[in-house]
Amino acid sequence: METGFWDFWPFLLAVIQFGGMAGAAIHVMLTKTDERAAAGWVGFVVLVPFAGWIIYLLFGVNRIQRRARELRGQQHDMLLISPLPARSELRATEGVVKLRELEGLARFGQKILPESFEPGNAVGVLLNGDEAYPAMIAAIDRAERSIAISTYIFNNDPVGRLFVDALSRAMDRGVRVRLLIDGVGSWYSRPSLIPLLEERGIDYARFLHSFMPWRMPYLNMRNHQKIFVVDGRHAFTGGMNIAEGNVIAEDPRKPIHDCHFRVEGPVVAQLMHTFAYEWNFTTGELLEGPDWFPEIEQAGDVVARGLPAGPDMGLNPIRWTLLGALAEARHNVRIVTPYFIPDATLRTNISLAAMRGVIVDIVLPATNNLPFCDWAAMPQLEGLARAGCRIWKTNGPFDHSKMMTVDGMWAMVGSANWDDRSLRLNFEFNLECYGTTFAGELDSLIERKISTAHPLTHQEIAARPLPVRLRDAAFRLASPYL
């Protein structure tokens, strides 16, 4: 009797199943650092034939970090050819030694990222677009040599066109302009601002932009940084995009409360360095020389350093600095963020701080532009509230502000949210600041937010109706991807 293919297919299927199962299980054991996740995946690929290892290959493999490193691997050489002067660890921490309570945090920070702490900076708060945009446009109009802007969203609306007009005037004066917009963020505006930028001849680029979806993952590896540097000396950073919704005085249809920050002093070179790194990655152009990196004099009493972070880094500097700050806190921690879905390690450290007697205030918007982020956060907030954290929901329009203070001496501001998208998937930039004056100013601002906010207790969270709790629990499962 002749033997055909169909006589062997059970054997072939068994070989495929065993090979897929064994390969997936080996990959899990070699790459997953969380023992419970590793054990769960191994059990899944072993006990669920075919579907187990196929689902793992589709959803369990961390392709984000690998893809980011593949895209940017050669660019890491640029960090070794930084236009910034090298600093020793002693030089990097000497400016914060006078705050001896936080000296350990400064030394810890050096282990995470060797970027220097720079003394002699001034950092000022700008509330909403009402204060931030006029200051930024005035800086553009005073520019003599260079303008570098990195933003996630740059809308084609009255505010966006004001910035384009100012950039055009600067170019007419011979100022070198470089504008970097995220590839996904550039889609937010309808109609797009891109044709206007091309019409005005503004030198712009879109970060990881492509019309082919397989070359530009829609939600991951986005450049969420907000960096604005004029003449290499004057800078702005924070979490504010360029959109008319931030100008509260104009009574926009969708108002957004936010904070941005004016930065002067030596740390501006670090903002410029981060922009130059991203611009070089996107366009291949290397920005160097005194137009972009002049000598900068001291301007204030804040010791600061920039924290660029992204999925191409083994340790996310922003996430690890948050962990270090929570561990060092002795009196109070204040967190303001629009999206609060911290991972298990961050939640544990927040709870530990509260249980040690540290007063922990977490200030969140009652109205959120992404309601599913609020839903995913609720089950986590209940545990934090039970641990002693004070949860506040601010009244009024959506509040997009991002800031954190510790013990009235340390502060962090910037583009990163307290979620996996910012701390694992996006490219972000935060500013770490040591100084009682600036931290005190932020504390006063946070106190004003709290004074009109609604306290959210664990009893109130636990009393949610069953359908609401089920909805929130379902979105919590998806929190790593929101």
Q: Concatenate the DSSP letters of all residues of 375-393 into one string.
A: HHHHHHHHHHHHTTPEEEE
C-alpha 481/C-alpha 167 separation (Å) is: 36
Beta bridge partners of 50: none
Confidence of residue 211 (pLDDT cuts 50, 70, 90): low
Whether residue 475 has pLDDT greater than 90: no
**Window from 20-24, 341-345, 404-408 with minimum mean pLDDT:** 20-24
Q: According to the model, what pLDDT value does residue 387 have?
A: 96
Which residue in this structure is represented by tokens 């907030």? 381
Q: Are 370 and 339 in contact (CB under 8 A)?
A: yes
Whether residue 3 has pLDDT greater than 90: no
* Residue, of 425 and 365, whose pLDDT is higher: 365
C-alpha 32/C-alpha 38 separation (Å) is: 6
Burial class (CB within 10 angstroms; exposed 0-12, middle 13-18, buried 19+) of 446 = buried
Rounded to 5 degrees, φ, ψ at 380 are -75, -35
Confidence of residue 85 (pLDDT cuts 50, 70, 90): very low
- The pTM of the full predicted model, rounded to 2 decimals, is 0.86
Q: How many CB atoms lie within 10 A of CB 120?
A: 18
Q: Among candidates 381, 343, 320, which has minimal Cα distance to 113?
A: 320
Q: Are 219 and 318 in contact (CB under 8 A)?
A: no
Confidence of residue 425 (pLDDT cuts 50, 70, 90): confident
C-alpha 362/C-alpha 381 separation (Å) is: 9
Which residue in this structure is represented by tokens 């897929």? 20
C-alpha 338/C-alpha 366 separation (Å) is: 9
Q: According to the model, what pLDDT value does residue 58 have?
A: 65
* Mean confidence (pLDDT) of the chain: 87
Q: Among candidates 205, 142, 207, 200, which has minimal Cα distance to 170?
A: 142
Peptide bond connecting 119 to the previous residue in cis, omega within 30 degrees of 0: no
Whether residue 241 has pLDDT greater than 80: yes
Q: According to the model, what pLDDT value does residue 410 have?
A: 96
Whether residue 73 has pLDDT greater than 90: no
Confidence of residue 254 (pLDDT cuts 50, 70, 90): very high
C-alpha 440/C-alpha 326 separation (Å) is: 18
Whether residue 92 has pLDDT greater than 50: no
Q: Among candidates 272, 319, 332, 261, which has minimal Cα distance to 296?
A: 272
Confidence of residue 34 (pLDDT cuts 50, 70, 90): low
Q: Are 279 and 389 in contact (CB under 8 A)?
A: no
**Residues 59-75: what's their mean pLDDT?**
58
**Residues 36-57: what's their mean pLDDT?**
73
C-alpha 410/C-alpha 396 separation (Å) is: 28
pLDDT per position as a tens digit, 168-205: 999 999 999 999 999 888 888 888 999 999 999 999 99
What the block records as the tokens of 462 is 């636990």
